[in-house]
Structure 1
């Protein structure tokens, strides 16, 4: 196990695992806390332990972690369809977002950045870059996310004002202000655009639940400067180099 005071090339254990594409840094912390990580045969319980990538053997669940700082990471934009789980494996055997990707990407162990719930659709980023995933999901670095939402019936100016001021959910969660724009109003439905700047679980659904309003559709169309565009549901593409650079710049990488 390396001593960081003697070797400036060492890195934190959780960052080492994340950059090897095993999981996000937060996921690495969980693996370490669960006692599933060893360095040179010794179980470790601190994510902050320093690792020498050239000389230390790191194992996760008994398997050596191959770390190549020169390896190219993968960055994918997926238009997640409804009734698809945002996870690598599902105990209930439902379709996952990884099932929509070619085998070569699945073999590289890409993982989703954040989540879209089972009945929500739209933009989802998947990557092997654990450090970028950690930043994009950390409260300090949350980038604005744009959603198109269709609800049953009208949305009152009073409720819009509450959302834009910062509402409190019935469970007690205090939400940051959400920018709301009416896109269209039909006889029975209203289509709105919502811009969120935090990552509260199922936030939009819980907001409209508290207004006793039924949601018919939630689609994420943008995250930071990355836009879904006209990518069909269930399809994917690799992010452009400019898109990757913009994401990294926005989260301080």
Structure 2
């Protein structure tokens, strides 16, 4: 029985190993498995949920996958960068700010910031954590600072607090308030992950967002990260992130 338990503890789900190798997140890994792109010890495996020995040789289209060191990067994104791995229009991506000479592992943005939106962006090759942080059920809060084209009316501030019905359903923030007594500057805390949600909330009420800056992500801030710069998260910061989900 002890030998059996030891053997089972040495197994790992194939999609988790693929994710841990930095190739993609687990959901995409399942798709790769089903498509026949993954082989284990030379044999193609197409059954989702397969468990394999941790020391098995796994290949993707003939290329051996190696477990990567986990990387967790916090970036203060400037305007004019897209949060994708590559851009068909040839625009600069957030990965250009990091450079392979500083991080050889292939990291991915957790969620997105618009081209003109600035502020905190987390990048990692930990696919499981990225998935959990992005899931709205886990209510990981983001804090934004918006500057509007004109002073907000109190009735509109109340409407945002109550929640608005947009074209794709209810848009509700966790908190909203005027910043520093200036009604053109609004602070918002939100955990929803809908596309361009804050800009669409203000647009729905007739306001133009001049600047939008993400100033907080969970417990993390950009206090000591200049615009366009980044840091590796410390172990205790990563542990706290994982404790949230």
Name the TM-score class by shorter chain.
Answer: 0.7 to 0.9
1:24 lines up with 2:25 in the alignment: yes
C-alpha deviation, 1:209, in angstroms: 1.7
C-alpha deviation, 1:210, in angstroms: 1.1
Say if 1:249 and 1:232 are closer, same or farther in 2 by CA, change over 3 A.
same
Distance 1:139 1:38 in 2: 34
C-alpha deviation, 1:30, in angstroms: 4.3
In structure 1, what is the equivalent of residue 160 of structure 2? 163
Preserved CA contact (<8 Å) 2:143 2:217: yes
The alignment yields a C-alpha RMSD, in angstroms, of 2.4
C-alpha deviation, 1:74, in angstroms: 1.5
Counterpart selection for 1:181 from 177, 190, 209: 177
C-alpha deviation, 1:95, in angstroms: 0.7
Preserved CA contact (<8 Å) 2:13 2:52: yes
Gaps of 5+ in 1: none
1:148 lines up with 2:145 in the alignment: yes
Distance 2:39 2:240 in 1: 35
In structure 2, what is the equivalent of residue 57 of structure 1? 57
TM-score normalised per structure 1: 0.85
Could you give the per-residue CA deviations for residues 47-99 of structure 1, whole angstroms, max 9, x where no partner exists? Answer: 42223221x332224322113xxx64111111111110112222222111111
Preserved CA contact (<8 Å) 1:109 1:128: yes
In structure 1, what is the equivalent of residue 38 of structure 2? 37
- Equivalences for 1:1-253 in 2 at 5 Å? 7-32=8-33, 34-54=35-55, 56-67=56-67, 72-169=69-166, 171-184=167-180, 190-251=184-245
Could you give the per-residue CA deviations for residues 220-251 of structure 1, whole angstroms, max 9, x where no partner exists? Answer: 01111011114211111111222112101111
Gaps of 5+ in 2: none
Distance 2:25 2:164 in 1: 30
Could you give the per-residue CA deviations for residues 115-173 of structure 1, whole angstroms, max 9, x where no partner exists? Answer: 1111111001112222211211123224110001111112122222222222221x232
